[in-house]
A = this chain, B = another copy of it.
């Protein structure tokens, strides 16, 4: 496509480098931005810069934060010896949305994946081991995948001599799915992890 403005071309190139945004969406977004008041676009640009400037990792749980420790780690109402291990900051958000979990978190920032070049040293595993010394229970809340199994086993092995309880979130039938429509793996998990009712 030949544009009458190199800046429009550059904007489209940047926007289409973002996930889920293709060239056509990038063009539509660019034309939308051109129609917005100056203030909107200026605030957009400022927020982008602030995002990289202000947002850091919490030195305890490695979630994104602007204060260190993060609001969750510095909340006195939280149970500090109950640590939920997750892959990414989005997972913290998902669990926080339930408004029920009262422990703290530990964000690994991925799972061991040699194909994608995510080695053990890139993950916050040593930091978790350090925290485990003072913890009562560590809950693994990783997404179901071969990589997360490998990661869990690796960490469990590191912690095997620690007096800490290790658990993983339950796998079973999700709410709203009928047995006849559940996939085999889910159904097998549900049967294996059955709980007593009497």
Contact = CB atoms under 8 A, between A and B. Distances in A.
A159 interface: no
Contacts of A71: 4
A93 B96 CA distance: 46
Interface string A56-71: 0010000111100011
A54 B19 contact: no
Nearest to A69: B4
A29 B123 CA distance: 22
Interface in A48-96: 48-52, 54-55, 58, 63-66, 70-72, 88-90, 92-93, 96
A29 B34 contact: no
Interface of A is mostly: helix
A10 to B, nearest CB: 5
A181 interface: no
* Candidate in A1, A17, A51 with the most chain B CB atoms within 10 angstroms: A51
A41 interface: yes
23 contacts: A3-B93, A4-B65, A4-B70, A4-B71, A5-B65, A5-B66, A7-B51, A7-B66, A8-B55, A10-B47, A10-B50, A11-B47, A11-B48, A14-B40, A18-B32, A19-B28, A28-B90, A31-B89, A31-B90, A41-B52, A44-B48, A45-B49, A48-B48
Interface of A: 1-8, 10-11, 14, 17-20, 25, 27-34, 38, 40-52, 54-55, 58, 63-66, 70-72, 88-90, 92-93, 96-97
